[in-house]
A and B are shown apart, each in its own frame.
Chain A
């Protein structure tokens, strides 16, 4: 069961047969086959349906530029829609299904579109579907959407994993055809570090598909020998199944390696694909060229292919697409296919060459000056009609027609940094232009040098240029003998008399559509493309752009370069989103940062919450507690009654050292720090240069030239960045150094009436933390538990008598356990971020919700903290009129009038009695909680002129959540407003 269309020879391994299925039917192929070659071997030409008209289609190409033979590979969670059968490597057990057809490939109900095609001309949908207005979303759009798209995504998570890697080299060679191999050999033999990559699984480029000889051996054998030499060299990395998807700045290339797409499943633990970032000093684009077809009547039937694809199937895969094959060409290259077919005993029924001076042959008839004007065979080509220069009409039987309209150099990567390709009349194609990505040298067919010898020669030359640039000495060696046929092409793009001729086969854009675009003044290449969708399908116009331009040029009476050319952008071929995401998915999407007491907290059964990338204990439920409020209320009450401990390591800490440390902090904080005594801490408000409050915290002066600054958790990184900016860029002459110590110190808040007593159990004598010796806002470097160095700060976020104690991080866990242990005697409770939040709201402390990036010191009620006596970041712009309006927002507290009501964050505030509308908006609630101390919900809010509206009853509204009730404006300092407990 070798397949009826198999020929002798080829580069497949007949000792490894493989069973596979397509649309449920089983077939056999061989290792080395693609799905397309194996299907063609089994006489299957029909592989897909086109996008708009659902016309039956077969493969047009043998490579990644394929527009038609798109199948769904695999099923279930691994299903890959829109897979090109022409590049899908065959593996045993492969299962593929056709797309975009119902109920079957052979009989597709939507093919009715083809009969109604005149109604579906380019852009028709812009001219209709507007009435009635409501029908767009309800009727028209759902139909259009269901008809659109080709493949279906399974809704299941992608089960495969993807890796990312980084590679460095002197020279990246893109392509393993003759030019690329020659370049790599030249550079590698000179000792350069070389990476050579090819998207194909078999290196060799076109050599695998042609019958050229190189230095007496077959091109394929020469390629194999070259690859073997390269693979044996320690300074070379050969990457197959690896597509260079983009040329990014500064010699950085993205390369996607398909590690296991040719296997039924990835090996256990191995990724499906890898995204390599290659840092190259120089790069050579040896990406070859892609053939383009000619446009003629019904030129899209299964069996009509590029002539070079027919040749590839014959020579590399030992498959003829049909028993009788014809050729339609405008250049010498098309004849190669006829010769190769004839050499393998395939019946070449005609070569139709548009040139009157076409070369003749003894082996098959050549119709010089002929054009194909009609084709038959809806589900597979059966015959064509040719018009001769004399006006005769000939019917030629054929099951496949190889079409050659010339070759387009694969210039794509040269355009990734904005360069436009330029038109070359000799080969009638675009070639790389000027201002290429720095360091990238195009060679071989990619540069318009089409013969094998030219490819070898230009590859060697490019390598020499690169080696010279890199300062690597090298010798010039002889080039192997190879064919050097010139390009003989007479441009012929389309048969003008055709009524239905396809330019972009996937999107069903016809020559008539190009005509219509011109008629409606969409004449620039940009407009042509967008209006007709030519070149916008999954093949990105690789085989259709040039014909589209040529037809437009014809109609508009311009030259092709005058019409223009579209830009090529990454990725070179469509790339799995999974490989671009890599391992950063699911729980590994971002790192998890854990506090020093995390393990201890887990042991206590804490509930955790994300705070940025940190996991912090939110509350510690005790047995019997079923609702979070029970835990949080308990933690709050117990802390305020005896003592509570909270891990506050996540807050930013920055060490500031130097003789100018105080002067530096004076610049960074809007309030004064120059006179802060040693051993004291001060609250600091940091403004942005635009006077908006950026962050707040404390600065503790441990020595004349040593401060410790704290920040909020969220701003630890940005504040540090900002402080370094101020230090390095604004005041570079100050003697001050900074370092972030957030992760270096474990820090705990110990708060409540018994906090001093607890700490006295661990602080090494003779250090005295009585109220006289260590008053509110004192700080010191001390030792605890018999010699462990620590820092102690008497600061309070909760409003209770409180301290924060810091030890080197690696002792954090032990300290937490020790304090909880000795604290048992003082009724200690561990509290989480929720209780922390409740207490600071009860105290009226601003936090992240209040410092939301749009509020000033004035809004916070700290206007007077902005010193006018010194220069600090933000002070000058704080005086702008917009920031000092009479009715500026002010931070206030809110209490519900009805104690059963809440005060939801995000609610807006209206004056009582005013209509609920934006015009009457007076402010908004920033923070809210249930206060177990007050026995009701409370909140903090910004209210216009809030500080002079104490006691006023206003209306709190949240229409989004259906809340509308009265609240009383009160002081934000709900608990201990006089600060007596703080100072105890």
Chain B
């Protein structure tokens, strides 16, 4: 597969390491009432869609940036690639 790195252009997917659903960006608040339940949900339950999925890839053999890739899990078509830190800043709670 090819991943179009936002800074480096198209790279072979074998330069990357895959982690999983980009929902991992949204780490729960450790001080919330039901923190343990929220962390269990965050750590263990997944949508696992047959369709577009936002997922995290690490450019281990390149610039070591984490990317959020939107890819269809039935066709492998990639429709968007962003720097994960950009996504995280935009979407995640403040620490």
Contact = CB atoms under 8 A, between A and B. Distances in A.
Direct contact of A and B (CB under 8 A): yes
Contacts of A248: 1
Contact of B76 (A250, A730, A879, A880): A250
A863 interface: no
A734 B24 CA distance: 18
Given A689-B43, A871-B30, A880-B36, A729 B2 contact: no
Contacts of B95: 730-731, 733-734, 871
A732 B88 contact: yes
A265 interface: no
Interface in A713-729: 717, 721, 724-725, 728-729
Contact of A877 (B40, B60, B76, B84): B40
A871 B92 CA distance: 16
Interface residues of B, number: 35
Greatest chain B CB density within 10 A among A248, A417, A729, A730 is at A729
A251 B39 contact: no
B36 A876 contact: yes
Greatest chain A CB density within 10 A among B30, B35, B94, B95 is at B95
Interface in A232-257: 248-252
A438 interface: yes
Given A721-B58, A724-B58, A729-B25, A877 B43 contact: yes
A418 B1 CA distance: 16
A729 B40 contact: no
Greatest chain A CB density within 10 A among B31, B78, B92 is at B92
A417 B77 CA distance: 11
Contacts of B46: none
Greatest chain B CB density within 10 A among A248, A717, A732, A880 is at A732
Interface string A679-707: 00000000001100000000000000000
Contacts of B92: 730, 732
Nearest to B76: A249
A875 interface: yes
Given A876-B39, A877-B43, A725 B58 contact: yes
A249 B56 CA distance: 19
Contact of A729 (B1, B17, B60, B85): B85
A438 B77 contact: yes
Interface string A423-445: 00000000000000010000000
Contacts of B88: 728-730, 732
A689 B19 CA distance: 13
A304 B94 CA distance: 77
Contacts of B27: 730
Nearest to A880: B36
Contacts of A689: 39, 43
B46 to A, nearest CB: 14
Given A721-B58, A877-B43, A729 B76 contact: no
Given A721-B17, A876-B39, A728 B30 contact: no
A279 interface: yes
Interface string A880-893: 10000000000000
Contacts of A417: 75-76
A729 B24 contact: yes
B66 A725 contact: yes
Given A279-B2, A875-B30, A724 B24 contact: no
Interface in A606-644: none
Contacts of B39: 689, 876-877
Greatest chain B CB density within 10 A among A252, A730, A875 is at A730
Interface in B18-54: 19, 24-25, 27-28, 30-31, 35-36, 39-40, 43
Nearest to B27: A730
Contacts of B58: 721, 724-725
Nearest to A663: B95
A725 B25 CA distance: 9
A418 B73 CA distance: 13
A733 B89 contact: yes
Interface in A299-324: none
A876 B66 contact: no
Given A728-B66, A871-B30, A877 B36 contact: yes
A729 B89 contact: no
A689 to B, nearest CB: 6
A214 B57 CA distance: 52
Contact of B35 (A279, A438, A690, A876): A876
Interface in B66-89: 66, 75-78, 83-86, 88-89
Nearest to B67: A728
Contacts of A876: 28, 30, 35-36, 39
Contacts of B24: 729
A733 B40 CA distance: 25
B28 to A, nearest CB: 8
Contacts of B83: 728
A418 B75 CA distance: 9
Nearest to A872: B30
A787 to B, nearest CB: 32
Contacts of B86: 732
Nearest to B1: A249
Nearest to A277: B12
A347 B85 CA distance: 78
Nearest to B89: A732
A755 to B, nearest CB: 36
B91 to A, nearest CB: 10
A729 B36 contact: no
Nearest to A727: B85
Interface in A322-350: none
A279 B10 CA distance: 11
Contacts of A721: 17, 58, 60
Nearest to A250: B2
A248 B1 CA distance: 8
A920 B76 CA distance: 49
Contacts of A729: 24-25, 56, 66, 84-85, 88
Interface in A421-469: 438
Interface in A723-764: 724-725, 728-734
B1 A250 contact: yes
Contacts of A880: 36, 40
23 contacts: A249-B2, A249-B76, A250-B78, A689-B39, A690-B43, A724-B64, A725-B66, A728-B85, A728-B88, A729-B25, A729-B56, A729-B88, A730-B25, A730-B27, A732-B85, A732-B86, A732-B89, A732-B92, A871-B31, A871-B95, A876-B36, A877-B40, A880-B40
Given A418-B75, A729-B66, A730-B27, 7 more contacts: A249-B2, A250-B2, A717-B60, A729-B88, A732-B84, A871-B31, A880-B40
9 closest A-B pairs by beta carbon, nearest first, are: A871-B30, A732-B85, A250-B2, A728-B85, A732-B88, A249-B1, A728-B66, A876-B39, A249-B76
Interface of B: 1-2, 12, 17, 19, 24-25, 27-28, 30-31, 35-36, 39-40, 43, 56, 58, 60, 64-66, 75-78, 83-86, 88-89, 92, 94-95
Interface of A: 248-252, 279, 417-418, 438, 689-690, 717, 721, 724-725, 728-734, 871, 875-877, 879-880
